[in-house]
Amino acid sequence: MASLTLPSPSQTMPSARLVPSQRLPLPLFPRRRTSDLPFDGAPCLSRCIRAQNAAKCDVSEPLDFGNGKPTIPVLNARTLPKFYESTSLQNTVNRTSSRLKLFSGTANPTLSREIARYMGKELSKINIKRFADGEIYVQLQESVRGCDVYLIQPTCPPANENLMELLIMIDACRRASAKNITAVIPYFGYARADRKTQGRESIGAKLVANVLTKSGADRVLACDLHSGQSMGYFDIPVDHVYCQPVILDYLASKTISSNDLVVVSPDVGGVARARAFAKKLSDAPLAIVDKRRHAHNVAEVMNLIGDVKGKVAVMVDDMIDTAGTIAKGAELLHQEGAREVYACCTHAVFSPPAIERLSSGLFQEVIVTNTLPVAEKNYFPQLTILSVANLLGETIWRVHDDGSVSSIFQ
């Protein structure tokens, strides 16, 4: 029986280099949980690595607020209720915090550790094995009865195996009497199969939503879904986390003049995403690459809508798979006189021949996040990887505390 165990922090690559950032006028998270702070450091929403240093993202930097259990203020007014003078409130806080459990699957354990570190907690113990015939075995190593459980597992390649592992983890928690089970899916596989484009096709996104619901999940937390309509496929609540603040925070450190900047959507379907991105960048102008797709994973660029001559073009998309769309778009931008081209996306799928296309010199920089683990063999000099651990950690805290998630992105 083959066994898969999560790597310990000592087995990870050296810590990543911190890139200084200048803040955009983004909403700040509230100050909270000041005790049990697991780290000290400069404020930063994201931590990134440059791939040419051959280092993996290990520890995300804290924001400019503490983290840990809430601090109870000292109240001296004589008219205060006795409740504030007793230990009842502190005991309630401790009990609520102890009932939050974080479990990691095997798809992206590094991101899971970063999320746990941000939240000031440790990952709960879980045993995940593979039998000789490929079947998956899951056993929780601690009690989750009555707990608020969060299972961190992107359904990235191999998508079917990671999805099945997540379903078995959910089933194990349900049978162990967990009170609430939230599937934290940084990358939601099958999200592109969200509609029928021709007859006799399946809608994979709807099927996966049904399976997750039937397995026992009470809530889903996903990052940058391919299309917002996928949220409607679920019969349970879905929290849609936008990773734009992480990328915007990093772009602010580039100190690119707003007069030189133009945001480009690589296709018509991503215009809304690019427009929202441009609005956060001092309402930068918008350009659109019009393309025609003749087959799956094959794109043909036709023309450009907008002016990019002498500009720094920032191409924004939700994912890069084979990089055909974004590479041909970059070629067109250079032909139209763009000075530099940056590629920004949340999900770095990087299916062949993506690396060859992205490292061919078309891009000044390719900026992605760690919702999927990027294999070291896929590193190239222009690649920058940002961590979304702080963003996901704050979202989990707010869901656990019944707080607002949407206010993070306003």
Please give the average per-residue pLDDT across 212-238, as a whole number.
Answer: 94
3-state secondary structure the chain: CEECCCCCHHHCCCCCCCCCCCCCCCCCCCCCCCCCCCCCCCCCCCCEEEHHHCCCCCCCCCCCCCCCCCCCCCCCCCCCCHHHHCCHHHHHHHHHHHCEEEEECCCCHHHHHHHHHHHCCCCCCEEEEECCCCCEEEEECCCCCCCEEEEECCCCCCHHHHHHHHHHHHHHHHHCCCCEEEEEECCCCCCCCCCCCCCCCCCHHHHHHHHHHHHCCCEEEEECCCCHHHHHHCCCCEEEECCHHHHHHHHHCCCCCHHHEEEEECCHHHHHHHHHHHHHCCCCCEEEEEEEEEECCEEEEEEEECCCCCCEEEEEEEEECCCHHHHHHHHHHHHCCCCEEEEEEEEECCCCCHHHHHCCCCCCEEEEECCCCCCHHHCCCCEEEECCHHHHHHHHHHHHCCCCCHHHHC
Mean pLDDT, rounded, of the chain:
82
pLDDT at 171: 98
Task: Please tell me the predicted confidence (pLDDT) of residue 10.
Answer: 44
Token output for 290 = 């019009």
**Residue matched to tokens 């009690």:** 143
User: Which amino acid would we find at residue 107?
Assistant: A
Fold of 2-6+28-242+390-403: Rossmann fold (3.40.50)
The pLDDT assigned to 66 comes to 40
Length of the chain: 410
Give the lowest-confidence range in 51-65, 113-127, 154-168, 376-390. Answer: 51-65
Q: Is 401:99 a contact under the CB 8 Å cutoff? A: no
Q: Average pLDDT for residues 143-166, to the nearest whole number?
A: 97
Same fold? 2-6+28-242+390-403, 245-370: yes
- pLDDT (tens digit, 9 = 90+) per residue, 349-360? 999 999 999 999
- Mean pLDDT for 314-320 is 96
179, 198 contact by CB (below 8 A):
no
Selected residue with higher pLDDT from 35 and 202? 202
pLDDT band at 11 (very low <50, low <70, confident <90, very high): very low
For residue 225, the tally of other CB atoms under 10 A from its CB is 23
**Domain residues of the chain, as ranges?**
2-6+28-242+390-403, 245-370
Query: Quick one: which of 178, 188, 177, 255 has its CA closest to 220?
Result: 188
State CA 174 to chain mean position distance.
Answer: 25
pLDDT score for 297: 62
119 φ, ψ (degrees, to nearest 5): -80, -5
Nearest-5° angle of CA 223, CA 140, CA 37?
60
Rounded CA-CA distance 370/55 in Å is 13
Q: CB of 60 within 8 A of CB of 387?
A: yes
Please say whether the beta carbons of 266 and 325 come within 8 A. yes
Query: Is residue 64 predicted with pLDDT exceeding 50?
Result: no
Phi–psi pair at 396, nearest 5 degrees: -65, -45
Confidence (pLDDT) at 272: 92
Neighbours of 315 (CB within 10 A): 28
DSSP lists the bridge partners of residue 2 as 130
Contact 48, 387 (CB under 8 A): yes
Neighbours of 322 (CB within 10 A): 18
* pLDDT score at 197: 87
396 vs 408: CA distance, rounded Å? 12
pLDDT digits (tens, 9 = 90+) for 168-196: 999 999 999 999 999 999 999 999 999 99
Task: Note the pLDDT of residue 91.
Answer: 53
Per-residue pLDDT reduced to its tens digit, 267-316: 888 999 999 999 999 899 999 998 766 666 665 657 899 999 999 999 99
Note the CATH number of domain 245-370: 3.40.50.2020
Q: Is the pLDDT of residue 399 over 80?
A: yes
Confidence of residue 1 (pLDDT cuts 50, 70, 90): low
332 vs 60, more confident: 332
Q: What are the φ/ψ torsions at residue 21 (nearest 5 degrees)? A: -130, 150
Residues with Cβ within 8 Å of 99's Cβ and at least 6 positions away in sequence, in order, are 146, 147, 148, 179
Report the DSSP beta bridge partners of residue 312.
261, 340
At residue 58, the pLDDT reads 37
* Packing angle of the helix pair 159-175, 204-215 (nearest 10 deg): 20
Confidence tier at 259 by pLDDT (50, 70, 90): confident
Q: Does 80 score more than 80 pLDDT?
A: no
